Amino acid sequence: MVLRLDCPHCGPRPADEWVYGEVPDPPDYLTEGDERDVDRGFMMSNTEGVKVERWFHAGGCRRWQTITRDTTIG
Amino acid sequence: MSAPDHFERLEATRIVAGPRALDEVESPAGGHLVRLAPDDLLVIPPLERVDVADRYAIIEPESGFSAAWFAGSELPRLQGVSAWEFPRHDPAFAQGHLAGIPVKMLFDRGGVRVLVPTVLARHLEERLGMGGRQ
Amino acid sequence: MNEFIEAQVAFGWEDMRSSYDVVIVGGGGHGLSTAYHLATRHGITNVAVLERGYIGSGNSGRNTTIIRANYSIPEAVRFYQRSVDLYSRLEEETGRWIMHDRKGLLWLVHGVPGTRNERARSIVNQAFGADTVYVTPEEVGEICPEVDLNAGGGEYRVTGGSYSPHAATARHDRVVWALAEGAMKLGVHVHQRTSVTGLLKVGDRVTGVLTDRGPVAAGVVVSAVGGHVSTLAAMAGVRLPIRTHPLQAYVTNHYARSFRPIVASAEMGFYVSQTPRGEMLLGSRIDNQPSYSYRSSYEFLSYCSLPAVTLLPFLRNLTILRQWAGVCDMSVDMSPIMGYTGVEGFLVTTGWGTGGFKGIPAGGEQMAKLIATDRTPELIAPFSLDRFKQDRLMFDPGSTGTTH
Ligand SMILES: Cc1cc2nc3c(=O)[nH]c(=O)nc-3n(C[C@H](O)[C@H](O)[C@H](O)COP(=O)(O)OP(=O)(O)OC[C@H]3O[C@@H](n4cnc5c(N)ncnc54)[C@H](O)[C@@H]3O)c2cc1C
Ligand SMILES: [Zn+2]
């Protein structure tokens, strides 16, 4: 089955229509400027579970949407 | 004829403005207001002049879409090449991929008017098995 | 399944000790190869591989088994060529038949930019030890007569490509079993159905693992958990430039004729080879969404099949039999990440993404060398985690795209 993301404007649409956007989330313990920058640039939480994400609905409203998803299911 | 053989260039007006200001825009007689996004409105046919209660509104002629009308008998076939469900009642607007190509769909009077970015119109014609322009 | 694997691997399945010199988390190809090389090359045998399912249940038992060295940057060509060489000796070395079959890889292009890339790739390959050559459309037709050079008259007419005679395939679970057995023969422990649920720490240093069968102390802990690496690394306080994406594949029913080379088109987005059973095995790009889900999609079948039947029309007459997915640890620059993490006692071998089957022998060999000598071997120095801090990314057009 295809993964569907629920667009608040357009409704549930298949993942094919969307572009994923990584949200940089440097952890608080990184206080040194360079370390935070490296983290922002490259590192990812890659959460195995429920996660709030940003997706661009390229095939529909062409807006960034905030979507909550369980990465172990979808 | 129920199946069109090509998409034709569509003239419209595009208004990008605050959602509340867009809620107030009035539909031209016999025309459509197509809410592409909360802050993005397509008006068909194009408006001569328009009042938008947002001084930062961007109002421009939009000629990037092409359109074609499909009668109700064509709907099952279109639904078959779409991975999301069409609205059950009309008039209604929906957007998403049709045969893998991003489209805007205006459901009305049992049929649907499909809008596609003109650069992709030829591909959609091909994928929907339309004859195409001669 | 476990009984079956235990029967395949003839050596003792022992009880778990409370402490090992090296604990490797993940019984995929990379974990087992690291253990195998620790034992065979360095005499380090007080080693445990902890696997939460059965060995090979991750990507190492789900992949399309392409072994190739035709990468596009020198560091990668050298590393993968080493792995190609080790693979070709693995049967002799382990005494196990892994069905290694050197069938050659034809990498097709459809236009000027691709043609230019393949010429460049051939030059880089030859300079760093891989036997890739540029081929014209006529030569493509000779190597693989099934290819429709006209691509059905569409826009993907074949304009050339590159050919890598060294490329091979092997039976994936036999590779896993051969390495497990080779390591266990020398005293390494492999514990299946053993899940690592946490890490033991003294200060910032990792000193062992918590498992669903109790704690185990370790001189060094190696993460070799494939797509699940971020979850384990987070327990050590290590953040990685990794995102996990599903990758799917499918096989068709039996094709009655022999189809020799592996054929790939990164531009069209698919690759295909024939299994020893005669099935056609097809793959394509990763799923868009980062995810840990193993579900298969119809979309994949369609975007993989359309280009495939366009270029290889005989595929139209076959039927899809099975489809599956694995979850891949994709690094930001699409190259692997091996070695130190900045946290003492905690090493990673990751970023294998969609292409780590081919790296199993050399990856394990080099990780073992790093552990035994406590120094990063020269061959994998470019693939260390600190490259991201040093702005020394290893983007490789030969490792991205769709041919794994
Ligand atoms: C469809 C597909 C096609 C591919 N095609 C190719 C190809 O043609 N050529 C190629 O070179 N590569 C290919 N790859 C990539 C290749 O399969 C992987 O890069 C490689 O197998 C990675 O090996 P690994 O040992 O790092 O990970 P894995 O084989 O995934 O092993 C990791 C193991 O860790 C275990 N584990 C995870 N978490 C825990 C825990 N907490 N405790 C204990 N155990 C744990 C898992 O159960 C798993 O068995 C493909 C991958 C897929 C999915
Ligand atoms: Zn939308």
> For chain C, what is the mean pLDDT?
95
Give the pLDDT confidence of C178-221 residue by residue, as tens digits.
Answer: 999 999 999 999 999 999 999 999 999 999 999 999 999 999 99
Nearest-Cα distance to chain A for C287, in Å, is: 9
pLDDT value at position C288? 87
Is residue C251 domain-shared with residue C323, that is, in the same domain? yes
Inter-chain CB proximity C290 and A18 less than 8 Å = no
C321-355 pLDDT per residue, tens: 999 999 999 999 999 999 999 999 999 999 999 99
Q: Which residues of chain B have pLDDT under 70?
A: 1-2, 132-134
Ligand 1 neighbourhood includes C269 CB (under 6 angstroms): no
- Identify whether A12 is preceded by a cis peptide bond (ω within 30 of 0): no
| Residue C50 CA to ligand 1 centre (angstroms) | 14
Residue C41's CATH number:
3.50.50.60
Residue C38 has pLDDT above 60, yes or no: yes
Which sign does the torsion angle of CA C394, A72, C401, C403 carry?
positive
Out of C230, C297, C298, closest to residue A46 by CB? C230
Structural domain boundaries enclosing C253: 101-168+243-331
Q: What is the mean pLDDT of residues C266-285?
A: 96
Give chain A positions within 8 Å (CB) of B84: 4, 11-14
Which of 1-20 (A) contact C at CB < 8 A?
A: 1-3, 14-16, 18-20
**What residues are neighbours of ligand 2 (ion), with CB under 5 Å?**
A 7, 9-10, 57, 60-61
Same domain, yes or no: C218 and C265: no
Q: Do both C202 and C257 map to the same domain?
A: no
Question: Is residue C299 within 8 Å of residue C286, measured between CB atoms?
Answer: no
Nearest atom in ligand 1 to the alpha carbon of residue C226 is 27
Report if residue B67 sits inside a domain: yes
**Ligand 1 in contact with C330 (CB < 6 A)?**
no
* A50–C contact, CB cutoff 8 A: no
Kindly report the nearest CA distance between residue B71 and chain A, in angstroms. Answer: 23
Tell me the backbone φ, ψ of residue B67, rounded to 5 degrees.
-140, 155
**B49 Cα–ligand 2 center, Å:** 28
Test site for ligand 1: of C357, C358, C365, C383, most ligand atoms within 8 A of the Cβ = C357
| C-alpha span between B93 and B108 (Å, rounded) | 9
Q: How many CB atoms lie within 10 A of CB B9?
A: 11
Residue B133 lies in a domain: no
pLDDT in tens, C70-95: 999 999 999 999 999 999 999 999 99
Instruction: Tell me if B59 is assigned to some domain.
Output: yes
The reported pLDDT for the residue numbered C23 is 98
- SS3 per-residue string spanning chain A: CCCEEEECCCEEEEHHHCEEECCCCCCCCCCCHHHHHHHHHHCECCCCCEEEEEEECCCCCCCEEEEEEECCCC
SS3 (DSSP) at C183: helix
Nearest to A59 among B36, B40, B96 (CB): B96
Q: Domain count for chain C, please give it.
A: 2
Question: Is B3 inside a domain boundary?
Answer: no
Least confident of C31-45, C80-94, C149-163, C385-399: C385-399
* pLDDT band at C396; cut points 50, 70, 90: confident
C1-15, C126-140, C261-275: segment of lowest average pLDDT: C1-15
> Residue B91: left (phi > 0), alpha (psi -120 to 50), or beta?
beta
Interface test with chain B among A5, A63, A64, A66, by most B beta carbons within 10 Å: A63
pLDDT at C13: 72
CATH number for C327: 3.30.9.10
Place of tokens 């076939």: B77
> Are B94 and A11 within 8 A, CB to CB?
yes
Q: Which among C135, C76, C73 has a CA at the least distance from the CA of C109?
A: C135
Q: Could you tell me if residue C395 is inside a domain?
A: no
Chain B neighbours (≥3 Cβ pairs under 8 A) are A
Centre of ligand 2 to C-alpha C304, Å, is 26
Pair C327, C340 in one domain? no
Percent of chain C beyond pLDDT 90?
92
Which residues from chain A sit within 8 angstroms of residue C288, using beta carbons?
15-16, 18-20
Q: What letter would DSSP give residue C240?
A: B
| Number of domains observed in the structure of chain B | 1
Q: Are residues C255 and C303 in the same domain?
A: yes
- Per-residue pLDDT at B48: 85
Chain A residues whose beta carbon lies within 8 Å of the beta carbon of residue C389: 38
C84 burial via Cβ count (<10 Å: 0-12, 13-18, 19+): buried
pLDDT, position B29: 86
**Looking at the complex, does the CB of residue A69 fall below 8 Å from at least one CB of chain B?**
no
Q: What per-residue confidence (pLDDT) applies to C8? A: 67
Given CB atoms, is C234 within the 8 Å cutoff of chain A?
yes
Residue ranges making up the domain that contains B19 = 8-127
Given pLDDT bands bounded at 50, 70 and 90, which one contains residue C57? very high
With a 6 Å cutoff on the Cβ, whether C54 touches ligand 1 is no
What is this structure's pTM?
0.93
Within this chain, do residues C254 and C308 fall inside the same structural domain, yes or no?
yes
Decide if pLDDT at A74 tops 90.
Answer: no
Q: How confident is the model at residue C28 (pLDDT cuts 50, 70, 90)?
A: very high
pLDDT confidence of residue C14:
76
Do C312 and C164 share a structural domain?
yes
- Whether the CB of C105 sits within 6 Å of ligand 1: no
For the segment C97-104, the average pLDDT, to the nearest whole number, is 97
Closest ligand (CA of C231): 1
pLDDT of residue A2: 73
| C123, C230: one domain | no
Cα separation, C75 vs C85, in Å, equals 16
Kindly state whether B19 is in contact with chain A, defined as any CB-CB distance less than 8 angstroms.
no
Going from the Cα of C21 to the center of ligand 1, the distance in angstroms, rounded, reads: 24
Return the CATH number of A4-25+37-70, one of 3.30.2270.10, 3.40.50.150, 3.40.50.620, 3.40.640.10.
3.30.2270.10
Q: Domains of chain A: which residue ranges?
A: 4-25+37-70
> Cα separation of C87 and C211, whole Å?
32
Q: Which residues of C touch A72 (CB under 8 A)?
A: 291-293
Q: What is the A14 CA–ligand 2 centroid distance (Å)?
A: 11
Q: How far apart are CA B130 and CA A45, in angstroms?
A: 47
Show the tokens assigned to C346: 């905690």
Segment C27-36 shows an average pLDDT of 98
Q: C327 and C247 in one domain?
A: yes
- Which of C328, C339, C341 is CA-nearest to residue C402? C328
Q: Residue C25 above 70 pLDDT?
A: yes
Q: If we measure between CA atoms, which residue out of C334, C52, C367, C359 comes closest to residue C222? A: C367
Kindly state the percentage of chain C with pLDDT values over 70: 96
**Cβ contact A16–B83 (<8 Å):** yes
SS3 sequence of chain B: CCCCCCCEECCEEEEECCHHHHHHCCCCCCCEEEEEECCEEEEECCCCCCCCCCCCCEEEEECCEEEEEECHHHHHHHHHCCCCCCCCCCCEEEEEEECCEEEEEEEECCEEEEEEEHHHHHHHHHHCCCCCCC
Distance, CA C307 to ligand 2 centroid (Å)?
A: 29
- Whether residues C275 and C143 share a domain: the answer is yes
With 70 as the cut, is the pLDDT of residue C399 above it? no
Please indicate, yes or no, whether residues C178 and C326 belong to a single structural domain of this protein: no
